[in-house]
Amino acid sequence: MEKYVIRGGKPLFGDIEVSGAKNAALPVILSTIVVGDKCVIENVPDVSDVRLCLNIIEKMGGKIDKIDKTTYAIDTTSVKAETAPYELVKKMRGSYYIVGAELGRFGKSYVGLPGGCDLGVRPIDQHVKGFEALGATVNVDGKHIEAECKKGALKANNIYFDVVSVGATINVMIAASRAQGVTIIENAAREPHVVDVANFLNSCGAKVSGAGTDTIKVNGVSKLRGCSYAIIPDMIEAGTYMIAAAVTGGKLNIKNVIPKHLESISAKMEEMGIEIEELDDSVIVTGKADLERINLKTLPYPGFPTDMGPQMCVLMCLAHGLSLLSEGIFTNRFRYVEELRRMGANIKVHDRTARIEGGHPFLPANVRAVDLRAGVAVVLAGLVANGRTEVEDIYHIERGYDDLVGKLRAVGADIRKVDYPDYTFQS
């Protein structure tokens, strides 16, 4: 078993390079299945969810060549339908993109139900609604998603999502890229990773327009061809390091970012008094002592991202006074609060709002990562707390952060990954 050991209380100074976006890389890699040719994907983050996707494609008959640390050649010419390995698929939420890709290419799909972070109820009814609108028959039981289009190819349609869903928007876009006719997706998610997948599909010869707005038009094509494509920088990784500079009272130059993607994060941090300088492809964040309390609600893009809620909560804990953090996306995104309480935070959660009584110092403690962003939040608190903090279950964190320890150590953090015996009771 592995854990992080952190000796906190040190301000961070220096440069941090942001990697490719996990939540763009997963759908781009899996949508190579709908392309059925050789693609070269660049700026791929080295995180376990990405390695899982590449492994799944290989098990399905695809060919993966690692060209360098962040570049892969992915040839899905020989991928067979309905061969996604259940044991791998169930490990992450993004597996459901296999369904859209297989439906678009083969007209049928049989995939294990996705896993991923426990953030409360995470249905896939909007994905199913989209696939059925395109002419597929979809059955979801306790273990699998089975989808088939009797007529062999999907037919375009108009789809209105009842809920703004990143996954459903991307999944239906992938499937519709090879449907017959023009599909209109309304109430679509507008996240940068939705735009990234649309740009990738268009680089392969698809005809997707309107991505980044709430209405996306997909003019289906009968064939797609391979391309070379670079993944956008990870706005959540960037935001996490912005918070690291702020909470430790240091100064970080966070490189390889698209400042526009960070607007809502920068705006709320500046409201707290943090100084943020925006350059073409980097942001410089300088921490300060007396922070202003704020109220915050997480919303679909371009609102404040839900995936930055836990990290922002750590910063809000340092501001004197009462701050409110409302979660507008998931039903149970506050599991991390219990871990922060162990570190001295004074937070009370009622329904989907956390009342944060700030101004109490974080105390070192032994805590665990309960999900990906919850895990990085306790790491941030550990960087602030004077003394030794240990973080277990770090596999959650390593699903979505490329070389977190290396990047933090390079700017002065005393953090290391250590092995420890697994005392889990062997029944």
Residues involved in catalysis: 117
User: Rounded CA gap, 172 and 61, in Å?
Assistant: 24
User: Rounded CA gap, 3 and 417, in Å?
Assistant: 6
Pair of tokens at residue 14: 């220096």
CB-CB contact of 40 with 230 (8 Å): no
Lay out the site mask for ligand EPZ across 94-123 (x = CB under 6 A, - = otherwise). x----------------------x---xxx
Smallest separation, CB 387 to ligand EPZ (Å): 28
Rule CB under 6 A: which of 32-91 touch ligand EPZ?
Answer: none
Q: Is 21 in the site for ligand EPZ (CB under 6 A)?
A: no
* Nearest residue relative to ligand EPZ (C-beta): 167
Lay out the site mask for ligand EPZ across 267-306 (x = CB under 6 A, - = otherwise). ---------------------------------------x
Nearer to ligand EPZ, 125 or 277 (CB): 125
Smallest separation, CB 235 to ligand EPZ (Å): 11
Q: Is 131 in the site for ligand EPZ (CB under 6 A)?
A: no
Nearer to ligand EPZ, 125 or 281 (CB): 125
Q: Is 217 in the site for ligand EPZ (CB under 6 A)?
A: no
Smallest separation, CB 342 to ligand EPZ (Å): 22
**Residue corresponding to tokens 């492994």:** 55
User: Rounded CA gap, 161 and 149, in Å?
Assistant: 21
CA angle 315, 18, 24 (to 5 degrees): 100
User: Rounded CA gap, 23 and 408, in Å?
Assistant: 22
Smallest separation, CB 170 to ligand EPZ (Å): 7
Any alpha helices (H) in 360-409, and if so which ranges?
372-384, 395-398, 404-409
Give the amino acid at 412: G
Number of residues that bind ligand EPZ (CB under 6 A): 25
- Chain mean position to CA 224: 26
Instruction: Kindly provide the residue ranges of all beta strands, DSSP E only, lying in 54-173, ordered along the sequence.
Output: 63-68, 71-75, 108-112, 137-140, 144-148, 158-160
Considering only 3, 38, 91, 93, the residue that binds ligand EPZ (CB under 6 A) is 93
Q: Is 400 in the site for ligand EPZ (CB under 6 A)?
A: yes
User: Rounded CA gap, 408 and 397, in Å?
Assistant: 14
Considering only 31, 43, 76, 126, the residue that binds ligand EPZ (CB under 6 A) is 126
Task: Note the residues at the interface with ligand EPZ (CB under 6 A).
Answer: 23, 26, 93-94, 117, 121-127, 163, 165-168, 189, 306-307, 329-330, 372-373, 400
